[in-house]
Structure 1
């Protein structure tokens, strides 16, 4: 399978278990990798035969800036599910949601959840 990457999408959102996360919000980053056959688009130069990156962003934005949830795992599951529903050409999707400043003690760059989901035929 070929791959399309949509990396480092940035959102400000209000997800988290702690009340201050829901009130103050924080930055999140999302990376999406789509697996599909890009040959038809590459041979014809036809956008209709591939995935529009802007639409991937909009699907992701709708979830990230939508109703707050507690878990990053929930966000990744919803993004993967919506991408597979929205783009029938995509066979596999990888979604990584990074939370750079979670309110937990310690020294680290970020926490993240990454999942891989396949189309079930």
Structure 2
């Protein structure tokens, strides 16, 4: 299985349990890993033999910015579902979702979840 990575995609959105998170919003960072067969693209050098990275990035942006979830686990799951629906060549997708400004009682750090889903 081959892999396409999109890392460090950064979006401002309003996810979280607390009213302030819904009202004020915060930054979310997405790392996307798509597993698929890229052998045709690696031989042909043809655009249609791969998955469009720009379209994947816009899809992730749409899920992150046009929805509202309490949990980053659910947001990551929604991104996985959208990516698998986007292109049937993608067999497995992993999302690492970073929430660097989580409202917790520590001075620094980043909280993140990783969700993986695959085609059945």
Q: Between Structure 1 and Structure 2, how many residues are aligned?
A: 120
> 2 CA distance for matches of 1:108 and 1:92?
32
> Counterpart of 1:89 in 2: which secondary structure?
coil
Q: Quote the residue 2:70 is aligned against.
A: 70
> 1 CA distance for matches of 2:116 and 2:81?
10
Give the alignment's TM-score, normalised by structure 2. Answer: 0.97
1:99 to 2:95 alignment = no
Q: How is 1:1-121 mapped onto 2 (pairs within 5 angstroms)?
A: 1-120=1-120
Superposed structure 1 runs of 4+ greater than 2 Å apart: none
Give the alignment's TM-score, normalised by structure 1. Answer: 0.96
The structural deviation recorded for 1:42 is: 1.1
The structural deviation recorded for 1:16 is: 0.5
For the aligned residue pairs, the C-alpha RMSD in angstroms reads: 0.8
The structural deviation recorded for 1:67 is: 2.1
> 1 CA distance for matches of 2:56 and 2:25?
23
Structure 2: state its 5+ residue gaps.
none
> 1 CA distance for matches of 2:119 and 2:27?
30
> Counterpart of 1:84 in 2: which secondary structure?
helix
